[in-house]
Amino acid sequence: MGRKLLYLLTVGVCVAYYIYMPLPDNFEEPWRLMLISTPMKIFLHLASFVEFLGLYHVMDSFALIMAFVEVPPTSDENVTVTETKFDNVPVRVYVPKRKLDAQRRAVFYIHGGGWCVGSAGNYDLLSRWTAERLDAVVVSVNYRLAPKYHFPVQFEDVYNALRWFLRKTVLESYGVNPERICVSGDSAGGNLAAAVTQQLLGDPEVKTKAKIQALIYPALQPLDLDSPSHRENAQMPILSKALMVRFWSEYFTTDRMLEKAMLSNRHVPEEYSHLFKFVNWSSLLPERFRKGHVYNNPIYGSPELSQKYPGFLDVRAAPLLADDSKLHGLPLTYVLTCQYDVLRDDGIMYVTRLRNAGVQVTHNHVEDGFHGASSFPELKIFHRLTDHYINWLKKNL
């Protein structure tokens, strides 16, 4: 009897550990979110253990799961879905079947997944809804992923595909109006969207530019990983601080020493101290997001990591490092941030810097939002965020 009770108690504790998590009171569907995050937490622990045994890289395990839930390219009565390549980069294209006399709008979408996992097939519903409700051509790009490929490969894949799409002959073949194009993405895709939009601005060879950009809880800088949102949301479901740091480090290298340095926020050498002014949350965040937090001056790291992996100091990987002169010419911008997201402050700091540079910005801050909220159609918040995003596109594109 004693052993059975001990066994039941042990099982109960394990179940409670994986299912229950303390969540903010204003979460709309807390138990449903717990049920969604539970298998993710279990899988992350299993994948980490398998990696510890030296059998499989944790990101490769993630990629297998993401591939399992990928939606194949399937046309329906409203949208034709095809797969092709733009400058040798795989893309999935969604074209509405409704006939138009005029040219269509277009959304060039870049999926999230920490530069390590995910594909256009994991964003099929969002792309399909955008194409149908906006009556727009949607191009969803499949860039190469870490750990097999590191920065700048992901950036270059996305930028090369975008440049190809913006060619006059390609736009004409899809019936796209060259003056009504949006570059958009979420999370790591938001990072890439911001980076390629900056790059596009200064590229004299590309005559067609984006009319607008839309960034959904973007990751914009790996220099300071001790902002208030990193502190407050370190253990939030879907994306913890530890997992985000792992994504950042994998973007640049499989060397775990960079991850270790990033976790202690001691990875930037003193010779790059001038860059911190671009990500100084004590001056860039509104007071309500700084309240109760003390800004710690940077503790500089060894120059060895930056010499080996200079990517984390590159503006193409960290769009917040762009100076004001580069931000000034950027197009009308939509930024979605979530209160309970480690990346919250990245997006808010970018809003501040863009506005200071004279860029028009629509900032949609979701008080009950969390990272990945626009990826789970079984949740009410998914529909709320998606509706707001598509309605903004409809009004401004």
Which of the residues are catalytic?
Answer: 187, 341, 371
The strand pair at 136-141 and 89-96 is best described as antiparallel
3-state secondary structure of 341: coil
- Residue 337 phi, psi dihedral angles, 5° rounding: -125, 155
Whether residue 147 is preceded by a cis peptide bond, meaning omega within 30 degrees of 0, is yes
CB 162 within 8 A of CB 184: no
3-state secondary structure of 235: coil
Q: Specify the DSSP class assigned to residue 375.
A: G
DSSP labels, 149-178: S-TTHHHHHHHHHHHHHTSHHHHHHTTEEE
Residue 104 parent element (H or E): strand 104-110
The single-letter code of the amino acid at 5 is: L
Q: How far apart are the first and last CA of the chain?
A: 68
Distance CA 36, CA 234 (A): 18
Burial of 147: CB neighbours in 10 Å, binned 0-12, 13-18, 19+: middle
